[in-house]
């Protein structure tokens, strides 16, 4: 009996000692959890850093794409601006050309009237006071007409004594001349005009054939006549 009681007491003491040791084992089991809690901020920081790198990389790619789009749009704008500037210049030139064409057409219709004024001035020789008064009135009208032409940019050609130029002159007659060399203008038959540096009307002129041309032509005609006479004589002798 005494031995059994002592065994029970020993067993109880062992149970108590086991209960006292249990918290220590529990604490030893919880140590890895505590270590995991301490390492989690580092992992979070690493994750945030990786996401930040990805974000920066995406932003760089997007920025590069936007820069390319900007360069493309800039080139398109430059081309469109250049095309519009060229279009505006063409429109301006076309308008100027159209204006010159209209003015040229109108002034060309007026030039024959100017020619008639000049012919009348050369032919009229007023003697009486009444005729001279009429002549002065006529001269006043002629000067007004010439002034209007000048205001429109019309200027007359001065061709007498100049060398013939097919771009400016139209040769109506050609004749020998001892005074002028060949292809020089002897006389102006109808005055030519410029309009803003362009040809409004060509001048009708008489052009020199040069000195000695008339004599040489007469000699050719004389030789032709003599040959005809000689042929007739020879034919009669043969008969």
Residue partners of 193: CB distance under 8 A and separation at least 6: 107, 111, 149, 154, 155, 156, 157, 200, 201
119: how many CB neighbours lie within 10 A of its CB?
10
pLDDT tens for each residue of 7-25: 555 555 555 444 444 444 4
- Residues 184 and 210: beta-carbon distance below 8 Å: no
Nearest to 153 by CA among 91, 113, 104, 118: 104
**82/88 Cα distance (integer angstroms):** 10
Phi, psi for 128 (deg, rounded to 5): -80, 165
Nearest to 174 by CA among 166, 184, 165: 184
pLDDT tens for each residue of 166-198: 999 999 999 998 888 898 999 999 999 998 888
Residue 144: which region, alpha, beta or left (left: phi > 0; alpha: psi -120 to 50)?
alpha
Calculate mean pLDDT across residues 156-163. 88
For residue 202, what pLDDT band results from cuts at 50, 70 and 90?
Answer: very high
Instruction: Check pLDDT > 60 for residue 208.
Output: yes
In eight-state DSSP terms, residue 170 is E
- What is the per-residue pLDDT for 14? 52
Calculate mean pLDDT across residues 89-94. 90
- What is the per-residue pLDDT for 229? 43
pLDDT tens for each residue of 28-47: 444 444 444 555 777 777 77
pLDDT tens for each residue of 215-232: 445 444 545 545 554 554
- Residues 193 and 168: beta-carbon distance below 8 Å: no
In eight-state DSSP terms, residue 239 is -
**38/140 Cα distance (integer angstroms):** 116
- What is the per-residue pLDDT for 19? 47
In eight-state DSSP terms, residue 127 is -
Instruction: Indicate yes or no: pTM above 0.85.
Output: no
DSSP of 123-162: H----SHHHHHHHHHHHHHHHHHHHHHHHTTEEE---TTS
- What is the per-residue pLDDT for 98? 86
Residue 212: which region, alpha, beta or left (left: phi > 0; alpha: psi -120 to 50)?
left
Instruction: Check pLDDT > 90 for residue 80.
Output: yes
Q: Which residue has the tokens 């030139």?
A: 93
DSSP E strands in the chain: the ranges are: 154-156, 169-175, 185-190, 193-195, 198-201, 203-208
The domains of the chain, with CATH numbers, are 142-211 (2.30.22.10)
For residue 205, what pLDDT band results from cuts at 50, 70 and 90?
Answer: very high
- What is the per-residue pLDDT for 220? 44
Collapsed DSSP state (helix, strand, coil) of residue 184: strand
Residue predicted with more confidence, 200 or 221: 200
- What is the per-residue pLDDT for 118? 83
Calculate mean pLDDT across residues 50-66. 85
pLDDT tens for each residue of 111-150: 998 888 888 877 777 777 777 787 788 888 888 888 988 9
- What is the per-residue pLDDT for 73? 92
185-190 and 203-208: which strand pairing? Answer: antiparallel
């Amino acid at each position: 009996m005494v031995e059994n009681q002592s065994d029970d007491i020993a067993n109880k003491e062992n149970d108590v000692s086991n209960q006292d040791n249990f918290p220590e084992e529990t604490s030893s089991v919880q140590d890895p959890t505590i270590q995991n809690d301490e390492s989690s901020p580092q992992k979070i920081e690493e994750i945030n850093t990786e996401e930040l790198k990805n974000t920066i990389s995406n932003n760089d790619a997007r920025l590069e794409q936007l820069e390319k789009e900007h360069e493309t749009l800039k080139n398109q704008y430059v081309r469109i601006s250049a095309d519009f500037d060229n279009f505006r210049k063409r429109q301006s030139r076309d308008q100027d050309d159209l204006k010159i064409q209209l003015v040229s057409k109108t002034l060309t219709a007026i030039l024959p009237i100017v020619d008639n004024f000049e012919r009348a001035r050369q032919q009229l020789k007023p003697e009486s006071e009444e005729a001279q008064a009429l002549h002065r009135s006529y001269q006043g009208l002629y000067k007004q007409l010439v002034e209007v032409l000048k205001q429109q940019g019309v200027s007359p050609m001065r061709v007498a004594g100049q060398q013939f130029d097919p771009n400016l002159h139209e040769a109506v007659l050609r004749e020998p001349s001892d005074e002028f060399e060949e292809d020089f203008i002897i006389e102006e038959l109808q005055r030519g005009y410029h309009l803003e540096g362009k040809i409004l009307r060509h001048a009708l002129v008489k052009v020199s054939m040069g000195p000695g041309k008339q004599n040489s032509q007469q000699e050719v005609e004389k030789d032709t006549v003599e040959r005809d006479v000689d042929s007739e004589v020879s034919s009669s002798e043969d008969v």
